[in-house]
A and B are shown apart, each in its own frame.
Chain A
């Protein structure tokens, strides 16, 4: 089998175009996949936050009343007491949900002792 230079040039241009097209489509696939998965991840994280919020509401109905020091909250949850230092409950719930999501351990099986904001 032999081909002319013109055919060779056409094959080279065609092949390079196919390589580009395949990787372009792959780009779209990866972008779409990432967006979808991140949405699913966000949805499950916000569900977990809501769940955590509910748990907090049930066990610690009045944050102001739960703590005497305004900076240190002590929140009772199903598995014990949780100290919140310079952290509001919503942020704490978010952190707990993220830890649960990342570690793949259900919130009901995790035990948080305290959550403290680091000073800069």
Chain B
């Protein structure tokens, strides 16, 4: 009898007796995401960690996201403490530091007109914002959903934690999944909106950018953007600090750390804790499906915005600018620029658009941060 009692006690205390069907569904979703990250290599750096976070958070009784009990010395769950970095906006800003250290703004400095393409490609943010409003989301939620169109994971997480934290898991998963799917989302739109003649355009080589220009760029952007929109200070400030580390050439160790060790550590913390917020009771709702659909619309509109402005620039420049570089205005560095290169080369095998597309691509990072700053100022 004692043996049966012991078995019953073990069963009662185990997660198997406490698991709900909703948690089983979430565990299934986690397995699918792990599959996509490992086998299909969809943004594996983040998708794998997010997926594992989803898995951990939905295993019953583990309590990894539990707050410390009030009036007790017992600690909270491990992921609860790590999540504070997301909640306080620390991880997205640190990721921007690493991105800044990895980014070469040279193509943008050489041809600053890429900034217009970076601005036009934010169209998806505001289109999705409007549609989300029409679907009954609050303005804060609509703004957070819209930012998926910025195609910038850290910016989406940064804004969502401030405006609609309850939507964070769905928005983060949608943002990173669609970023991984850019090679599938963009090309049909690129071919639909441009003629073969436009896609064939070979662009003139970019001028060389001096070291002094490269050093002054992050300083000027920081001063200008933060004076104008103080709410973007954490993102733009860190992005440009990372870039100054890179371009100054005097802090090689810091630049190396920011673009390797630091960004890797923060990616682990960010991914696992964002995933861990996807608990069954919050995630399994019709709103999640709406967010995933709206994310796709946001990406598509952003691509269309960039391409249409690219066509305007093609026309204004007398056919010197290939409109395909417009689609790279949706951040997603460097994936979107690579898609422009591939499509350009399909139209004309001797076409090399990569460096030309990198300008709008990095301008998109600044553009989405600015858009996030505006939305934060309006609804924060």
Q: Which 10 A-B residue pairings sit nearest by Cβ, starting from the closest? A: A12-B126, A23-B119, A30-B112, A23-B115, A8-B133, A20-B119, A27-B115, A27-B112, A15-B374, A22-B370
Given contacts A23-B116, A33-B220, A37-B210, contact A16 B370 (CB under 8 A): no
Kindly report which residue of chain B lies nearest to residue A32, judged by CB atoms. B220
Taking the complex as formed, is B378 at the interface, i.e. its CB lies under 8 A from any CB of chain A? yes
A sample of 12 inter-chain contacts (CB < 8 A) reads A1-B138, A1-B139, A11-B378, A19-B119, A19-B370, A22-B370, A23-B367, A26-B115, A26-B366, A30-B109, A30-B220, A34-B209
Taking the complex as formed, is A5 at the interface, i.e. its CB lies under 8 A from any CB of chain B? yes
Interface residue total, chain B, C-beta cutoff 8 A = 42
B residues near A105, Cβ cutoff 8 Å:
none
Give B contacts to A, CB under 8 Å: 108-109, 112-113, 115-116, 118-120, 122-123, 126-127, 129-130, 133-134, 138-140, 142, 209-210, 212-213, 216-217, 220-221, 224-225, 228-229, 363, 366-367, 370-371, 374-375, 378-379
Judge whether A26 and B374 touch: CB under 8 Å. no
Chain B binding site: helix, strand, loop or mixed by DSSP? helix
Taking the complex as formed, is A51 at the interface, i.e. its CB lies under 8 A from any CB of chain B? no
A residues near B209, Cβ cutoff 8 Å:
34
Tell me, in angstroms, the Cα distance from A23 to B119 when the chains sit together. Answer: 7
Tell me, in angstroms, the Cα distance from A24 to B332 when the chains sit together. Answer: 21
Judge whether B142 and A2 touch: CB under 8 Å. no
A residues 1-58 near B (Cβ < 8 Å) are: 1-3, 5, 8-9, 11-13, 15-16, 18-20, 22-27, 29-31, 33-34, 37-38, 40-41
Kindly report which residue of chain B lies nearest to residue A34, judged by CB atoms. B213
From B108, B130, B228, give the contact of A8 (CB < 8 A): B130
Which of B108, B115, B116, B120 gathers the greatest number of chain A CB atoms within 10 Å?
A: B115
Tell me, in angstroms, the Cα distance from A3 to B130 when the chains sit together. Answer: 11
B residues near A27, Cβ cutoff 8 Å:
112-113, 115-116
A residues near B118, Cβ cutoff 8 Å:
23
Minimum CB–CB distance from B321 to chain A (whole Å) comes to 15
Judge whether B139 and A3 touch: CB under 8 Å. yes
Minimum CB–CB distance from B328 to chain A (whole Å) comes to 15
Judge whether A37 and B213 touch: CB under 8 Å. yes
B residues near A12, Cβ cutoff 8 Å:
126-127, 129-130
Judge whether A3 and B213 touch: CB under 8 Å. no
Kindly report which residue of chain A lies nearest to residue B219, judged by CB atoms. A33
Given contacts A22-B228, A26-B224, A37-B213, contact A15 B115 (CB under 8 A): no
